[in-house]
Amino acid sequence: MSSRHAPGAGGPAPRGPLVARSGVAPETSRLYLGGRGCGTMGPPSRETWAQRLGAFRASPSAFMAGPEGEDLGRDLLIELRSEKLSEQTKVSLLALSLEYPAQLWPDAAAAEAAATSLLDTLVLLPPRPSALRRPLLLAATTVLAAGDALGPTSGASRRLLPLLLGLASGRDLGRGFGPASEQRPLQATACECLRELESCKPGLLGDCLGLLRRLLGQEGPVQPLSLLLALALRNALVIRAKAKAGLQGLLVAGDAPTPGGPWNWALAEEGGAHPQPQAPSWPAAEDEECGLAVLEPSPEEARELRAAVAQLLDSSYLLTPVAQAQLLWLLGWALRGLRGQPPVLFKPQLVRLLGTAQLALLHAVLALKAAFGEALFTAQDEALLLRRLTLAAQHPALPLPAHLFYLHCLLSFPENCPLGPAGEEAAPLLLGPRLGRSLLPSLLHDPMALLARLHLLCLLCAEDEEEEKGQGWSPQRYLGELLAGLRQRADLDGGPRALAALCFQASYLVVRCLATQPLVLTPLTHGLAELYRARPALAPHFVDLLDRVGPELGEPLRAVLRQEVVSRAGRDEALRWHLKILAKVADGNAPSATLGFLRAAAAHCTDWGLQQALLRVCRTLMRAGVREGLADLLQALARQLDDPDGRDHARLYYILLAHLAGPKLGVALGPSLAAPALTSSLVAENQGFAAVLMVQEAPAPIRLSVGPRRAAGPGPVLQLQVEVLEPVFSLELRFRVQGQLYAPLDAVHVPCLRPGRPCSPLLLPLQPRLPAPTQLSVRALYATPAGLTCHAHLPPVPVNFEDLFLPFPQAPDDGDKQGFFEELWDSCLPKGAESRLWCPLGPQGLEALVSRHLEPFVVVAQPPTSYHVAIRLPPDSRLLLRLEAAQAGGVPVALRTDHWAVLPLAGDYLRGLSATG
Amino acid sequence: MAQRAVWLISHEPGTPLCGTVRFSRRYPTVEKRARVFNGTSYVPIPEDGPFLKALLFELRLLDDNKDFVESRDSCSHINKTSVYGLVIGGGELWPVVAFLKNNMIYACVPLVEQTLSPHPPLISISGISQSFELLFGIQDFLFLGQKNDTELNTKLNQLPDLFLQACPFGTLLDANLQNSLDSINFASVPHPQKQPAWRVGTYKGKPQVSISITEKVKSMQYDKQDIADTWQVVGAVTCKCDLEGNMPNVTISLSLPTNGSPLQDILVHPCVTSLDSAILTSSSIDTMDDSAFSGPYKFPFTPPLESFNLCYYTSQVPVPPILGFYQMKEEEIQVKITVNLKLHESVKNNFEFCEAHIPFYNRGPITHVECKVSFGQLEVFREKSLLVWIIGQKFPKSMEISLSGTVTFGAKSQEKQPFDEICIGGTAYLKTGN
């Protein structure tokens, strides 16, 4: 610590012993270059700072976006060295940098520069006692760790780490670090800083385990050193296990980095950049266990490890309860799965911990229970732990949040031999009915405690059902009485919403746990119906409950609520609630009663809201398939309602009802496709109708292909094969010929197509106006199983030249075929055209070529050398071919046609034949 | 194990925001870890304003909670612990540990070292219990022995410095904040090795140990044949040990008086070094044979410097100290009440004060009271719908006193009168205190 450094530009002159400062990246020095006096206001006073900090804290994002935001970080660092500000103000400035470093110095370079400046400020402090040293250390640590600047290339890190380690090990750092009286608190603070750095970069202290153990054994402060050692140990174990490497003498490693010497980043880099969970949640930790098993410490290493853990545990009593809990979590999960490390080490601590009322300690015991299970807790221990938990969950000396947490621990208790599926709340087996009964819910409990205890009671009821029915006390009856009490409270006129919510939450919880118990559900259903009778204003809760429960409660509850509503006169004050309920529960059952109620109610629906509510019920009935009577009601509403919007709506519904078949109506009235979230809004609803009733553009689920040619009949016919990817109904295929080459084509209809079920080919007669190939564009119109009408464009279907070929009506069988052909041949000229070309033959030869492509059109054949072919081309052209004297590579073809335009097509066709095989 | 942020919010019903953030503290290094651990389920800590709004909504502490709001009132939104999920900026901030006590909301967000979707069980998150300890610690610091608002403000102003001491990086070092305050003051005293972290400083002077036992009786008396009355004593043993030395060893042994009921449900202070297993198993829940442990109850410990609760217990007394009879008959806007109280002879007839409170709920304001008391005097608090019967320091020689008369109520106006969800119609209670 003897070397001097040059202060950054604009920084104050050094006045005391300094620590070496390694190079600062050039771009970071702008922090200083902006320098003092750059702001417009001059150095802010204490009051200005208080205002500024207040404004910042009120909304950091708004402040940073404002004009002052940019300079805040820089000003803060400069002001820390100002002699005008009191230490108290400077501490509050440092508090800001502890909380908001990311806002003040947003990138790694700025964080590095800020940390460097903070360290400079620290070493420049006069040697008298100062309240700034601790917060400066904390701030430098926070800024480095939070700003992603911690690493071997960071100069500030290279300064801070040895400094912290020096302080933590109680080394004399010279008078610059304050009077001797300040050393002890600084030592503890340095340990905390190192612990935080180790948390953010596991493995950072991998080299210091031996040193820390020695310090703990000597005079160091117990708590900070214990926690630091435990964390560093745990991280080292995990990293080594991940790297599948041994401990390699980590625990007895000699000295820590020498002052000024290079820091060993090897283990931290081995651990990767990511922090390690210090106390991983249980399910996540399962994997890690396998990882730790890789570590196979030598007997000597295992002994050292045990000694280190025992050393930590032995002095754990000296730690504050929360720190003890942290230590147990760290060590418990560090040793789990590690060979040769018996969990018995923890045993001496357990009895002491089980007796306390301290939440963190009992929680840590539960963590040990989860980590080691039977290896540390026998069945008797487990029973004792459960008794203590049950006791703590209701102890009058403990606060409510602690009770609730213990109740949660009971329901998620890590049992030695769990029966149910993992991760689900269950009553532990050893809890038993006696202990369980001590946690019964009562109306006097706080709502959360009531729900937690109710859950336990439900679980006990579920078990009770499986066991024999005992005499005397019945949990089901108790549950029924409790629910009745809750309903009575929800019924309180003017009672807060929370009471109603509690009643419904309890009912929901019961249904979820006990859906199969009619003994519970039947009274619940009737009780809820009574509650509705007494307080219809709870309708939103009922609707919500119906939305969430299964059919076990949902169906009977719907029925009784419907009954409850329709049996009333329509002019009730609570009409809007009745309509709300009815819109939820109306169905095809007993529609006449529902319609009667609606007819009576219509007269009292005087405002828009009520009319809409009424129409919503109509809509529900339409969806349920009710027709009879509903049409009359809608017609009446279309005339009778005051509001034009309501009338229009009624009319629309009436038209829909009159014109659409059941399934289509169901889809039309289903949740709006256009804006599913806005079902109640009229506009959205109409958009929904429009979407449903109009033809939808859709990607085609249909594939069309051209099948084999059929050269027969009076005109050319295209055979189409259709395949579908999903069921399609009422398919209409529309074809259009590009240009005027063909007469318009008729549409093809298919009633129903299903995937995987082949349909007979579709025949599409073509009426060419000229003998020319073309493409047909295809559109499909069809209905989906959901009732939507869709429209799709399909890929165009090609019509090839050869698709138009038709044979001549045959010459008489016995007649002079040759003569017939010659006659045709001669008739082509002089109007037509003649040509000769070379038709290349593939390896298969002429005979095969003819039989494959031209068979139907051959008039005279002298296989294998000579064929005369006559082709009729609709509408009224002909093409005649003489294929004679075939040679090895091809055959010379003489061709004539009466339509000159056919020649090039025929030429292309013939030349392409051999290519198509 | 660490906390991402802590808040203290005073609940101020009737104001536009219904609350003010009195203190907040964020931990950026923990936040950085949260971002890595939570992955895609990470939701950043919001600024104070949005947090306040979301928390008050979730805790139902906004004035405007008349209408059904699905995200809060839905039957499937079941909260069984003081841990909440707050919807903020489209994401869910979870777990938020929060509770309301003395009009102050204590809240913090612990770090969860894994993904948050699905939520891992709370029991498996180490930070949860640390959160509770921190919040209980703040609560004790603010309200133990606090007398007025000025004192509260002073303590609130001390919090930033205390947090630098007790929770500098979000990992709680000591939930006893008073201790941290003392350690700031004791900073210059050299600490010897082997001194407990919870025993800051040393005592110099005359050694003395003071012990006080406080017992509260909870009793429900039905005056019915088929329902048994119940009563339970809840006791606390408080100690203050002024002893020299780093780690003085003290053992306190509690013995029952003759025919005294055994102590049950014993919870001890963490400084107790060992416990008899009979003490651990003696419980009121499950009266097995081995649970009837009648002492002596030995508690060996090294005391902290400050006064502390060595242990809590419950016990069954053979009879309640005051036997009561309370009858209420409702006649339209009037109720006729009769109260008899009888002090048990085994109780010393000498109190600092003794009062009986007779509250009336879910009714209009008290318009007229016509009551006769056989002893003491009656005070009427009309606006609170409350009668207070001041018995004084002694019961009369007969040990029995009575009150009878009628109370008339005005028309019910919903807003102002006390509401209670239990005391409906003829259900009412009377509370004695001394």
CB contacts of A88 in chain B (<8 Å) are none
B339: three-class secondary structure by DSSP: strand
In this predicted structure, the answer to whether residue B156 has a pLDDT above a threshold of 60 is yes
Q: What angle do CA A613, A615, A619 make, to 5 degrees?
A: 115
- Give contacts of A 75-134 with B, CB under 8 A: 91-92, 95, 98-102, 129, 134
Q: Is A359 close to B275, i.e. CB distance below 8 A?
A: no
- Of the candidates B169, B175, B127, the one whose C-alpha atom is nearest the C-alpha of residue A164 is B169
Distance from the first to the final alpha carbon of chain B: 43
Helices (H), B200-244: none
Does the CB of B310 have a partner CB in chain A at under 8 Å?
no
Among all chains, which residue has been given the structure tokens 């205390």? Answer: B162
Angle between helices A299-314 and A209-217 (to 10 degrees): 40
pLDDT of the residue at A255: 56
Q: Is B269 close to A356, i.e. CB distance below 8 A?
A: yes
Question: Which contiguous run of DSSP H or E holds residue B204?
Answer: none
CB contacts of B36 in chain A (<8 Å) are 274-275
Segment among A180-194, A483-497, A852-866, B322-336 with least mean pLDDT? A852-866
Percentage with pLDDT > 90 across chain B: 52
**Tokens coding B136:** 């209980």
Helices then strands, each counted (H, E), chain B: 7, 19
pLDDT of the residue at A465: 63
What Cα–Cα distance (Å) separates residue A365 from each residue in A347, A350, A354, B113, B405?
A: 10, 7, 8, 19, 57
CB B105 within 8 A of CB B24: no
CB B88 within 8 A of CB A254: no
Mean model confidence pLDDT for chain B:
88
Task: List % helix, strand, coil for chain A (3-state, nearest 5).
Answer: 55, 10, 35
Nearest to A279 among B75, B126, B134 (CB): B126
Q: Give the integer Cα–Cα distance in Å for A403 and A369.
A: 20
CB contacts of A500 in chain B (<8 Å) are 73
pLDDT of the residue at A14: 38
CB contacts of A184 in chain B (<8 Å) are 187, 190-191
A397: three-class secondary structure by DSSP: coil
Percentage with pLDDT > 90 across chain A: 28
Q: Is A319 close to B197, i.e. CB distance below 8 A?
A: yes
Q: Is A544 close to B68, i.e. CB distance below 8 A?
A: yes
Nearest to B80 among A95, A222, A408 (CB): A408
In this predicted structure, the answer to whether residue A174 has a pLDDT above a threshold of 70 is no
Interval A700-740: pLDDT, tens: 888 888 888 776 777 888 888 888 888 888 888 999 887 78
pLDDT of the residue at A82: 86
ipTM: 0.93
Interval A838-880: pLDDT, tens: 888 877 778 888 888 888 888 888 777 788 888 888 888 888 8
Please report which confidence band the pLDDT of residue A17 belongs to, taking 50, 70 and 90 as the band edges: very low
- Give contacts of B 114-133 with A, CB under 8 A: 114, 120-126, 128-130, 132-133
The CA distance from A912 to the nearest CA of chain B, in Å, is: 59
**Tokens coding A528:** 């809820």
The β-bridge partners of B214 are B236
The predicted model scores a pTM of 0.80
Q: Give the integer Cα–Cα distance in Å for B371 and B356.
A: 14
Burial profile A646-668: b = 16 or more Cβ within 10 angstroms, e = fewer: bbebbbbbbebbeebeeebbbbb
Q: Give the integer Cα–Cα distance in Å for A313 and A345.
A: 8
- Of the candidates B72, A854, A662, the one whose C-alpha atom is nearest the C-alpha of residue A891 is A854
CB contacts of A141 in chain B (<8 Å) are 29, 169
Q: Give the integer Cα–Cα distance in Å for B355 and A263.
A: 71
Cα-Cα-Cα-Cα torsion B89, B92, B97, B98, nearest 10 degrees, comes to 50
Q: Residues with Cβ < 8 Å from A776, sequence gap 6 or more?
A: A718, A735, A736, A737, A738, A745, A796, A797, A798, A799
Q: Give the integer Cα–Cα distance in Å for A821 and A834.
A: 15
Q: Give the integer Cα–Cα distance in Å for A695 and B209.
A: 90
CB contacts of A58 in chain B (<8 Å) are 48-49
CB A743 within 8 A of CB A779: no
The CA distance from B334 to the nearest CA of chain A, in Å, is: 20
Q: Give the integer Cα–Cα distance in Å for A387 and A376.
A: 17
pLDDT of the residue at A283: 57
CB contacts of B362 in chain A (<8 Å) are 492
**Tokens coding A691:** 């979407």
Interval A525-547: pLDDT, tens: 999 999 999 999 999 999 999 99
Nearest to B114 among A189, A280, A508 (CB): A280
Q: Is B120 close to A284, i.e. CB distance below 8 A?
A: yes
What Cα–Cα distance (Å) separates residue A771 from each residue in A716, A828, A857, B417?
A: 11, 16, 16, 98
Q: Is A184 close to B191, i.e. CB distance below 8 A?
A: yes
CB contacts of B134 in chain A (<8 Å) are 322
CB B111 within 8 A of CB B3: yes
Nearest to A391 among B123, B265, B414 (CB): B265
pLDDT of the residue at A111: 94
Mean model confidence pLDDT for chain A:
82
Q: Give the integer Cα–Cα distance in Å for A591 and A585.
A: 12
Does the CB of A402 have a partner CB in chain B at under 8 Å?
yes
CB A429 within 8 A of CB A413: no
Residue of B nearest to A135 (CA): B164
Residue of B nearest to A324 (CA): B173
Does the CB of A65 have a partner CB in chain B at under 8 Å?
no
Does the CB of B38 have a partner CB in chain A at under 8 Å?
no
Does the CB of A136 have a partner CB in chain B at under 8 Å?
no
Nearest to A317 among B99, B112, B273 (CB): B273
Q: Is A390 close to B285, i.e. CB distance below 8 A?
A: yes
Higher pLDDT, A690 or A333: A333
CB pairs under 8 A between A and B: 345
Does the CB of A786 have a partner CB in chain B at under 8 Å?
no
Q: Give the integer Cα–Cα distance in Å for A148 and A305.
A: 32
Q: What angle do CA B388, B391, B393 make, to 5 degrees?
A: 135
Q: Is B113 close to A280, i.e. CB distance below 8 A?
A: yes
- Give contacts of A 162-181 with B, CB under 8 A: 181
> In whole angstroms, what separates CA A298 from the centre of its chain?
45
Cα-Cα-Cα-Cα torsion A886, A890, A891, A894, nearest 10 degrees, comes to -170
Which of A326, A405, A415 to mutate to probe the B interface, most B CBs <10 Å?
Answer: A405
Angle between helices A155-168 and A108-124 (to 10 degrees): 40
pLDDT of the residue at B271: 94
Interval A581-634: pLDDT, tens: 999 999 888 888 899 999 989 888 888 889 989 999 998 898 888 888 899 999
Q: Give the integer Cα–Cα distance in Å for B180 and B164.
A: 9
Within A298-380, strands assigned E span none
Mean pLDDT of A229-247: 84
Residue of A nearest to B52 (CA): A58
A352: three-class secondary structure by DSSP: helix
Segment among A46-60, A853-867, B111-125 with least mean pLDDT? A853-867
Among all chains, which residue has been given the structure tokens 């009628």? Answer: B406
The CA distance from A6 to the nearest CA of chain B, in Å, is: 30
Interval A652-662: pLDDT, tens: 888 888 887 77
The CA distance from A263 to the nearest CA of chain B, in Å, is: 22
The CA distance from A444 to the nearest CA of chain B, in Å, is: 8
Segment among A316-325, A549-558, A887-896 with least mean pLDDT? A887-896
CB contacts of B59 in chain A (<8 Å) are none
CB A270 within 8 A of CB A243: yes
Segment among A62-66, A427-431, A690-694, B31-35 with least mean pLDDT? A690-694
Does the CB of A498 have a partner CB in chain B at under 8 Å?
yes
CB A650 within 8 A of CB A637: yes
In this predicted structure, the answer to whether residue A135 has a pLDDT above a threshold of 90 is yes
A65 burial via Cβ count (<10 Å: 0-12, 13-18, 19+): exposed
- 3-state SS, A264-320, equals CCHHHHHCCCCCCCCCCCHHHHHHHHHHHHCCCCCHHHHHHHHHHHHHHHHCHHHCC
Nearest to A448 among B49, B79, B286 (CB): B79
Does the CB of B415 have a partner CB in chain A at under 8 Å?
no
In this predicted structure, the answer to whether residue A640 has a pLDDT above a threshold of 60 is yes
Q: What is the DSSP string of B380-404?
A: EETTTTEEEEEEES---TTSEEEEE
Does the CB of A534 have a partner CB in chain B at under 8 Å?
no
Segment among A372-381, A490-499, A790-799 with least mean pLDDT? A490-499
Interval A786-841: pLDDT, tens: 777 888 889 998 888 888 888 887 665 666 778 888 888 888 877 888 888 888 88
In this predicted structure, the answer to whether residue A9 has a pLDDT above a threshold of 50 is no
Residue of A nearest to B283 (CA): A391
pLDDT of the residue at A288: 53
Does the CB of A23 have a partner CB in chain B at under 8 Å?
no
**Tokens coding A722:** 């259709």
**Tokens coding B29:** 């290094």
Q: Give the integer Cα–Cα distance in Å for A353 and A372.
A: 17
Does the CB of A200 have a partner CB in chain B at under 8 Å?
yes
What Cα–Cα distance (Å) separates residue A880 from each residue in A806, A808, A854, A895?
A: 12, 11, 11, 5
